[in-house]
A and B are shown apart, each in its own frame.
Chain A
Amino acid sequence: MIGKDKIITLLGDTLALNLADQAEAVFAASESGLTRFANSVIHQNVAETQNKVYFRVAIGKKLGVASTNSLSRGDLKAAYRTAVKIGRAQKENPDFVSLPGPGTYPTVETYFDRTAKFTPRSRALKVRSVIQTAARKNCTVAGSLATASGEVAVVNTRGVAAYQPLTSASLSVIAIGGNSSGYAEGLSRDVEQVDVRAVAKAAVDKAVRCADPVVLPPGEYEVILEPAAVAALMEWINYIGFGSKAMLDGTSFMCGKIGQRVTGEAITVYDDGTDTAGVALPFDFEGVPKRRVELITQGVAKGVVYDTLTAARGKAASTGHALTPDSSAEGALALNLFVAGGTSSLPDMIAGVADGLLVTRFHYINGFLDTPNAVLTGMTRDGLMRIKNGRLRGGVKNLRFTDSMLRAFGTVKALSIQRQCINAWWDSLGCITAPAMHLGSFRFSGQTDF
């Protein structure tokens, strides 16, 4: 850890060269480690020390970006000068008004020393316990245990000086039996909140219960989606629907629908970077404070997220969702998404299904098929189960779904009170905190051989 004062001073001193009308420095550093296992053996165990500093300058309405991973004062100044050179070669960006001014940031606990100090040996010992749990049920395991600490800072020439230390810990486990598998995961900023034993047990139990999966034909089924399955759908819904670029480009299912019902009344989705139930961060990569942003409330489209550039184009205000300057062409994205829970529980939801399926998780979803209708496709994975007369009745061979999520979410019968924070498959898309979801109808379009 470098520390707030040193980082703010380093960035401020560089910007003091005063080479542009406005300038911004975004700092992101991490010390991370990841232990990966397969066939019940650690096969990959890595550590990384990385820094990144992005400079964005404005010369009038001309913008330039350059970045470096060296923290030497000479290299930082060189990167700043490169950004200025690029800015001078630019055309004017009519959407640019100004970099943001200083804000007040909510106090959010995002750093846990015990996570930062978690060693490779500590990770290996935790993984060994996962392996032993699986072995007792004749399963092997694959997965990963990652811990990281880092610092994020944003400084600009208008007075922004934001800093936040961060840690994270995540565990994913796939337990594999003879012809079945099961999945579970845990994610927190505090490594002690990741219940390694419970995650391992849940994955192993699922693999055991899914042994000898049966074949079911594709078609329309009543389904219970566990939180990981809901989160995977929401990751794509977020990407194609809730970002400012999709809205401004006219490709989002939210376009022209603000204030109108777009899906079932049971569906409420919001982003809240200040809620530590997710993986919180109190400001975005422009230094704009985070706050709760309503996206869909009781099925009605409420809005999307913006950074300062796209907010100007959309005649809105920044909601505090800017990405790093090198990714700004993507527009703003919601990185701490929440799906509101309901009043039910997973066992009660299962008990309410006469004939249906339970989906543990999805695999390789794609949402580019028909974005105005939010049509997604993907496969089930690691725990598709039959529900008959309110009870789980063993595993089912995996199925492909192709369906409009606006339609499917219009058939919600129940949501669980309990929610789980799930990492997005693409790390850069943040996390989604989701309940289990009971849908009256979900359309499967194909099948596979396992």
Chain B
Amino acid sequence: MKDRLLTTRDYLKSKGATYADIRYVRTTTESVKVSNETVDTLARDLDQGFGVRVLADGAWGFASSAICTLGEMRKVAARALAIAHASALTKVRDVSLGPVEPVVGRYETPVAIDPFKVSLSQKINLLSSVNCILRKSPKIKVAEASMDFYRTEKIFVSTEGAIIEQVLTESGAGYTATAVDAGEVQRRSYPNSHRGDYGTGGYELIERMNLKDHAERVREEAVALLTAPVCPAGPRDIIIGASQLALQVHESCGHPTELDRVLGTEVSLAGASFLTLDQLGKLQYGSKIVNIVADATTPGGLGTFGYDDEGVPAQRADLVREGLFVGYLTSRETAPVIGRTPNGTMRADRWNRVPLIRMTNINLEPGDVSLDDLLVDSEGALFLDTNTSWSIDDRRLNFQFGVEAAWEIKSGRKGQLYKNALYTGITPQFWNSCDAICHRDHWHVWGVPNCGKGQPMQTARVAHGAAPARFRNVTVGVSR
């Protein structure tokens, strides 16, 4: 395969491409889902193909195909060139790329237990046993437990001389108990909602989750929510649980720091960003204890890899330092706009999509307080846990998140349970109200396997390190 890619690369050089890269991607996916003790998903998919990205006549062209013969590659390369020439019809200036050292290298996710070699029956039995525990209450109408595994093999070659091979393995699992009674629907999930938690690695990630150990608590909390009062509306101090805070980082820091979005090229779908170029190095994004980094080298993170899909090595970059907004996620095309070098965040969803700036592991760095001490210091505050709903405006300012459960903190413990809790705010005001972040013992890198961006729509697997944190005077609920 590598030889075919190199031959196609040479063909593009001979046809006058200013720059070209060719990616071959082969992805194996396995999904298992058990609902109410019936296996409703047990599927394996094999998907392979290649994509050709060409810069010619000062503009971009991209073409792709699932047919991986040399003849098809030449045909698709010619199509990509023709598309680049069509794109040039509207160009104002030539696209240029920041320089990078062409890499010849290889990266492979460290895997202790190959998830594709673990038997289907072992996976089904574990998920079924979780189902059994969840369904011990008749109020639990639906118990759903699932696992997903991905293996992505990539070869990247460029006209600049890069030749990179990668094998990425990603694994994840989770479950949800849905309690239904008298027109009320409530859910609790473990280790997170929306199919659970994910990371790079093998089946050892699933074993570490100790899925069965939490099922009884999840069941009882879901049932208790059915009769819990609705969370009262009004301004409150809140402590946000780590998995929910991970999604808050995702929507209100990760997306707005994507430099392509800032420069307007995502306006047609999910919008732009309030973090405009004039804010860089000036905006007090959060309080002094807020430090956020993009780190594609975080061990086990779902956004961890060796090289991005432009051949730039994975790296760590500051986005927010002591509350000050200091950096963007960048690409070879966008980094020169702010006078910087690319920080390796261009990734494509499989072979048939063009790389875009995507989050890697966007981590809120841990603070210095224990959760116990934070609870003792937060009398009357609400503890909000596990996402149910998410929404944010098209510049990433006004957000609203709903959570599965909320507890009022009384005497250093979780007291009254509330249902249907949500909180809302404006991003910089919210992050500036953060006055405590729990320390590393409570910090975890949460995988988000379904980040949508781009047209045609692309789904990226990204992650966010987070620990529980406290925010002052936040609007909770919807006042009438």
Residues of chain A having any CB pair with chain B under 8 Å = 32-52, 63-70, 75, 79, 82, 86, 89-91, 93-95, 119-121, 123-125, 127-128, 131, 142-144, 146, 172, 174, 176, 249-251, 256, 325-326, 328-329, 363-372, 377-379, 381, 398, 400, 402, 426-427, 445-450
Contact = CB atoms under 8 A, between A and B. Distances in A.
Given A69-B47, A251-B178, A369 B402 contact: yes
Contacts of B48: 69-70
A66 B46 CA distance: 8
B39 A379 contact: no
B338 to A, nearest CB: 16
B210 interface: no
Given A172-B268, A379-B393, A89 B119 contact: yes
A45 B41 contact: no
Contact of B86 (A41, A94, A124, A365): A124
A396 B375 CA distance: 42
A119 B79 CA distance: 10
B154 to A, nearest CB: 16
Contacts of A37: 90, 268
Contacts of A123: 86
Interface in B256-297: 263-268, 270-271, 274
A347 to B, nearest CB: 28
B326 interface: no
A38 B270 CA distance: 13
Q: Which 7 A-B pairs have the closest CB atoms?
A: A142-B267, A448-B398, A65-B43, A89-B120, A250-B180, A124-B86, A120-B86
A57 to B, nearest CB: 11
Contacts of B422: 369, 377
B252 to A, nearest CB: 12
A45 B55 CA distance: 11
Nearest to A72: B67
Interface string B52-92: 00000001111111110000000010011011111101111
Interface of B: 31, 33, 35, 37-49, 59-67, 76, 79-80, 82-87, 89-92, 119-121, 124, 128, 141-142, 178, 180, 183-185, 263-268, 270-271, 274, 352-354, 388-395, 397-398, 400, 402, 420, 422, 424, 426, 452, 455-457, 475, 478-479
B225 to A, nearest CB: 12
A427 B452 CA distance: 11
Given A38-B264, A45-B84, A427 B90 contact: no
18 contacts: A41-B90, A46-B456, A47-B63, A69-B66, A79-B46, A89-B121, A120-B82, A128-B89, A131-B90, A142-B264, A174-B267, A174-B268, A326-B45, A328-B40, A366-B389, A379-B398, A402-B400, A426-B457
Nearest to B72: A49
Contacts of B270: 363-364
Contact of A89 (B64, B91, B124, B263): B124
Contact of A86 (B43, B60, B91): B43
B64 A250 contact: no
Contacts of A45: 59-62, 83-84, 86-87
A131 B457 CA distance: 23
A367 B121 CA distance: 35
Contacts of A377: 389, 391, 400, 422
B211 to A, nearest CB: 18
Given A49-B67, A91-B38, A42 B43 contact: no
Contacts of B184: 372
Interface centre among B48, B268, B422, B457 (most CB of A within 10 A): B268
